[in-house]
Amino acid sequence: MSITNIAKASASATGQAVFDYPVHSFINGHVQAPGGGAYLDIIDPGNGAVIGSLADSSAADVEDAVQAAKEAYSDGRWSEKDPEERERILFRLADLVDRDSEILSEVEARDTGKPLAEARLDIAEAAAVLRYFAGWCTKASGTVVPAPREYFATTTREPLGVCVAITPWNYPLPILTYKVAPALAFGNTVVAKPSELASASSVLLAHLAHEAGVPAGVFNVVTGGRTAGEALTSSRDVDKIAFTGSTATGKAVLRAAAETLTPATVELGGKSAQLIFADADLEAAVEGVAAGIWTNAGQICIAGSRVLVQESIKDAFISALTERTGNLALGHSMNPGTDIGPVISEGQLTKIKAFLQEAEEAGATVQTCSTAIPQAGYFLAPTIVTGIPTGHPLASHEVFGPVLAVDTFSDEQDAITKANSTEYGLAAGLWTKDVSRVHRLTRKLEAGTVWANTYGVFHPTLPFGGMKASGFGRELGPQAVEHYTHSKTSVIHLSAS
């Protein structure tokens, strides 16, 4: 069934799109209504309107999904398929994502509030990730071990079993594919639980996977809130958990995984610094910083939410960034002129405003770069904060909104000290024409990814993950093989004839 028959969104700029059907879980190859009959409102962040309903799955619904995935793994309907067949099906899934990219983009834009142009890029990325890991179906090979001569020893890569993917609301479909694509490529089965704030595209992907030929029970999606998440992470029939979200929730996931001794990888929060040196290409740095913090209204785990600028160019940099930011238009996701959308919810908006009020009361200068804020929806003008007192949370805590904290540094050592001063270690940016400096500082920055003279570059070939309180494990790239397979050693005694 085409997903246009499951959910539709109008292309009008009014924001009054209605999801034609409630968004339900997809379990064992079919739609499943919540056993308890509970539903959550789907709210368009761009106007605060209710545009649909989402099934709030019970623990029993989650158990249905886990058991479906367990049975599908045990009987080998997917893991025992020839790798070439899994590859063909995943390539077909990527083609279907391309086929229905416009409806997926509209659903993603309305669910998250991000501009439609950004949502289109997200869907294209999801298709690219699926294609990359489709190719890995036939590439995960083992080794022959140089054991003593009376033995023949090999290692092989084998699937883990039932993999759980718990994903956030800011990039629902791309981040889901970071987990589902490698899991399926290597023969695992999956139960995914997207954020209750943006679930629709994840469910639609499961429908497309079924259309592509992924057998029933292999890829399941359960929708809902905390009850569903806790039931998944505490299940003893789960063989792997992959989580992306806040550091606080990640800790809860890890505690639950420890109780069942379930392997887990977690990609958590960030407070990433961009270091701007006096010799940098100022225009390029301004563009990179603007993209790194205003994209998706700053709701990005790798948002460059801290700028450390060399003292001698501080005023010039802030002036250029303020001018650049002032040209950006806030608006609804479906408005063609929108550059920055709303934050995800009223609660998130209230939290961000409280951060800013506390910083201003503590003596910081809070400067908004736009006054044209839509009357409806959860909008916040892009905001630059300077003069933040030492130790204030705004300089070290994740805000997850269009808020940029700016500080200065005197030299390389001062820059490194300040950049590494938070508990996070997800990403960092460097802007300088000195190649030697790039190499020196890259080694010293405590971050899983360092971009130099660019920022926020993602590609399926590039491993991504954090250090410190930003989590551990890597997604994308060849490292995914290690996280979705285990190595088995086989030893054969070569008896004399």
Using an 8 Å Cβ cutoff, are 409 and 365 in contact?
A: no
**172-185 and 116-136 helices cross at what angle (nearest 10)?**
10
Q: Which of 106, 108, 125, 301 is an active site residue?
A: 301
3-state secondary structure 344-405: CCHHHHHHHHHHHHHHHHCCCEEEECCCCCCCCCCCCCCEEEECCCCCCHHHCCCCCCCEEE
Return the residue matching tokens 């996280």.
483
Return the residue matching tokens 């994502």.
97
> Exposure string (b/e) for 310-339, b if CB count within 10 Å is 16 or more?
beebbeebbebbeebbeebebbbbbbeebb
Helix (H, G, I), strand (E, B) or coil at 139: coil
> Which of 94, 85, 81, 3 has its CA nearest to residue 460?
94
Helix (H, G, I), strand (E, B) or coil at 135: helix
Is 301 a residue of the active site?
yes
Phi, psi torsion values for 297, nearest 5 degrees? 55, 35
**Distance (Å, whole) CA 271 – CA 253:** 21
Give CA angle at 104 (99, 108), nearest 5°.
160
Cβ atoms within 10 Å of 346's Cβ, excluding its own: 14
Cβ atoms within 10 Å of 88's Cβ, excluding its own: 16
Is 102 a residue of the active site?
no
Q: Which of 267, 398, 446, 475 is an active site residue?
A: 267
Give the amino acid at 16: Q
Contact partners, residue 3, CB within 8 Å, separation at least 6: 100, 103, 104, 204, 207, 208
**Which of the residues are catalytic?**
267, 301
